[in-house]
Amino acid sequence: MIGCFTPEQFATLNQLKVAAQLPRLESPEIVFIGSHVYKSRVQRDGYTIDDVVLQIEHALAASAKVQSSVRMTALKSTARRKDGYGNEVLDEAVFELTQRKPKAELYSVIPKGDNVLPKNVRSAA
């Protein structure tokens, strides 16, 4: 387990699932496998593990808001964060809500607004 939804986040997620005629989450606990995050953020984009930890912390903050669409369910931070690469980002955690039932799985984390990627900063130096 990597964390838990706040009671408000959990209630909002379940309201959205009921409205979409999908089964509710039974637990506010969030599990994390990490392979997708590692491949996309560390290997592809050049972020460090410490960077990813910060992205996850901010995306799962108690103040983060539930975002939902036909394609995904996420929590998005409400406070911009300086990422150390010249960007101010809003971190977004994307969840898989069925495979690890009754818990949500943190599938991905996305630093929205990261126009300058770490791999580009390092290669320019």
pLDDT in tens, 15-69: 999 998 888 999 999 999 999 999 999 999 999 999 999 999 999 999 999 999 8
Which ranges constitute the DSSP H helices of the chain?
Answer: 7-19, 35-37, 49-59, 118-124
Burial class (CB in 10 A: 0-12, 13-18, 19+), 38: middle
Say if pTM beats, i.e. exceeds, 0.75. yes
Domain housing 36: 3-124
The tally of domains found in the chain comes to 1
Instruction: Report the pLDDT value the prediction gives residue 125, as an integer from 0 to 100.
Output: 61
Q: Is 46 within 8 Å of 122 (Cβ atoms)?
A: yes
The pLDDT value given to residue 22: 85
pLDDT digits (tens, 9 = 90+) for 76-99: 999 999 999 999 999 999 999 887
pLDDT number for residue 75: 98
Around 93, how many Cα atoms within 13 Å sit in the side-chain half-sphere?
33
Residue indicated by tokens 């009921």? 18
